Amino acid sequence: MFARLALVVRVLSRRRRLERSCEWSRERLQAHQRRCIERLRRFAYERSPFYRRFHAGLVQRPFEELPILTKGTLMENFDDVVTDRAIRLADLDVFLRGSVQSALFRNRYVVLATSGSTGQRGVFVFSGTEWITALALITRPMAWAGVRQNVVRPRRMAMVASTTAWHYSARVSCSLATPLIPSLQIDASEPLETIVARLNDFQPEILAAYPSILRQLAGEALAGRLRIALRSIATSAEVLTDETRQRVVDAWGIRAYDTYGASEYAPIAAECALGRRHLVEDAARIEIVDDCGRPVPAGVPGGRVLLTVFNRYTQPLIRYEISDMLTRGEGQCACGRPFAVIDAIDGRREDVLVFRGLSDTRAPVNVHPHTFHELLEALPAASWQICQTDDGLRISLVGLSAGFDTAAVVSLVRRRLEMLGADPGAIVVERAASLVRGRTGKAALIRRAVPDGESALVR
């Protein structure tokens, strides 16, 4: 117990130091970034055989001229990327297969993994100090949203996410759990009725959940089956739509605060009290670039994000690629933070579905995920999911109102796609009992069928 409390104290202390940067000027922030990048590069060149090869001939070149590091390249060269020469990916794989949430690799390192939903699994290693910083960063959004814990009467907290030992959310919950803060962790893959019953029994005041779950829980609250009085709501890991935000307001009279992040670096962006998403730039350099790696101006959607994480020396990530599409906003927020803002999180490149064209050339037509959000969010359903198959689309609707004509959905989707010049093929709409979820409980709104007949999550 005392060790866990000591860790929480260290996390809060680190967070207080990080928060000082919220009062910096933009110029001071950029100078801080340059110093951190210089230190990280020097360390990587001294300790990582991979970076000595990868940046050969570029050691003195400007940061922006360095090559982009993909997840595939990272994993293929894992043993040479890490700076502790005793760490081997094969040993980490054995550890992860038998790990529990509180276990440390060689009693020293926190090890996380991604589910590989985009086709490539990732493994990430944190030293003790690096993990303290990671925890401090991931708790900042709660502070920005105004959540404060009272030592005398702590607020009860519930998280509906992944309980898989190697997943980020599960490990964070385990690390921060103390007897002084009543908390409940529920796996997002549990049946909705079970989740509702457990929340009713626990009566949390603070809730963190995947948006797909939150949308359903708001529906349960509006129907009178979920009876909890929430003071604060946070979401992460999936796209939080405007429709889901409104359902939360209708159900509890408060707004949901969204955090955008990844196992590689969390949070990448978080909302301030004014509702604008800020890139968390004091602990990482975050570049929004096009498909060719060139920076995009404000207001123009990017093709991917490049991360350079300052405090990760065990496994340096320098210009590491994440396939998310972000749109940077203009200027700075009125809240006064020096961090750049983003106006949109458009999902991953993998979310863009490709159809045959209707033109004579039958040239492929790309359809952005926003198209499906616009079409399906307004339906009288608790949630939706699309799967692209070899011959068309399968649309699953959970909790669709009785008597609603699914043929109208087919016509709606077909008409919009054909307006975009796409041939959707056969469109099937089905009433579903639940969403298809991945290994970590996340529900990709857009999926693709794979050859063995199963479906691959693409978010």
Tens-digit pLDDT profile for residues 69-112: 999 999 999 999 999 999 999 999 888 887 666 788 999 999 98
Among 317, 332, 348, the domain boundary falls at: 348
Could you tell me if 326 and 400 lie in one domain? no
Q: Residue range 51-67: average pLDDT?
A: 96
Is the model's pLDDT at 396 over the cut of 70? yes
Residue whose structure tokens are 């910096």: 24
**CATH label of the domain that carries residue 8:** 3.40.50.12780
**Quick one: which of 226, 211, 222 has its CA closest to 435?**
211
- For residue 272, the enclosing domain spans 1-348
Q: Which residues contact 20 (CB under 8 A, 6 or more apart)?
A: none
Q: What is the pLDDT of residue 379?
A: 82
Q: Are residue 333 and residue 370 in the same domain, yes or no?
A: no
Length of the chain: 459
Rounded to whole angstroms, the Cα distance separating 217 from 221 reads 6
Same domain? 141 vs 251 = yes
> Counting beta carbons within 10 angstroms of the beta carbon of residue 410, is it exposed (0 to 12), middle (13 to 18) or buried (19 or more)?
middle
Residue 169 pLDDT > 50, yes or no? yes
Query: Residue 71 is inside which H or E element, if any?
Result: helix 71-76
Where residue 223 falls among pLDDT bands split at 50, 70, 90? very high
Most confident range, picked from 101-115, 149-163, 226-240: 226-240
More confident residue, 373 or 252: 252
What is d(CA 440, CA 167) in angstroms, rounded to the nearest whole number? 7
358 in the same domain as 334? no
Q: Same domain, yes or no, for 183 and 198?
A: yes
Same-domain pairing of 331 and 379: no
Q: Which amino acid is at 230?
A: L
Which residues, in sequence order, are CB contacts of 16 under 8 Å at separation 6+?
A: none
Q: What is the pLDDT of residue 402?
A: 81
Query: How does the average pLDDT of the chain come out, rounded?
Result: 86
**Burial classification of residue 49, based on how many CB atoms lie within 10 Å of its CB (0-12 exposed, 13-18 middle, 19 or more buried):** middle
Q: In this structure, are 423 and 439 located in the same domain? A: yes
Alpha helix (H) residue ranges in 343-456: 369-376, 406-419
Indicate which CATH number applies to the domain containing 444.
Answer: 3.30.300
Is the same domain home to 407 and 317?
A: no
Bridge partners of 18, per DSSP, are: none
Q: What is the mean pLDDT of residues 104-124?
A: 80
Co-location of 243 and 274 in the same domain: yes
- What pLDDT sits at residue 193? 92
Residues with Cβ within 8 Å of 253's Cβ and at least 6 positions away in sequence, in order, are none
Given a cut of 90, whether residue 175 has pLDDT beyond it is: no
Does one domain contain both 136 and 190?
yes
Task: Look at the pTM and tell me if it is higher than 0.85.
Answer: no
Residue 404 DSSP class: -
Residue-wise pLDDT for 412-450, tens only, equals 899 888 888 888 899 999 998 888 877 666 767 777 764
Structural domain ending residue among the three candidates 296, 324, 348 = 348
Tally of helices (H runs) and strands (E runs) in the chain: 13, 22
Among 190-194, 280-284, 317-321, which stretch is predicted with the lowest mean pLDDT?
190-194
Q: Distance (Å, rounded) from C-alpha 136 to C-alpha 304?
A: 26
On whether both 391 and 343 belong to a single domain, the answer is: no
Of 348, 369, 396, the domain-final residue = 348
Mean pLDDT of 31-56: 97
Count of C-beta atoms within a 10 Å radius of residue 296: 16
Confidence band for 347, pLDDT divided at 50, 70 and 90? low
Q: What is the mean pLDDT of residues 303-324?
A: 94
What's the average model confidence in pLDDT over 235-258?
A: 89
Residue (of 412, 382, 276, 406) closest to 335 by Cα position:
276
> Please, which pLDDT band fits residue 348 given cuts at 50, 70 and 90?
low
Would strands 353-357 and 324-328 be described as parallel, antiparallel, or unpaired?
Answer: unpaired
Q: Do 261 and 388 fall into the same domain?
A: no
**Per the structure, how many domains does the chain have?**
2
Average pLDDT over residues 190-198: 92
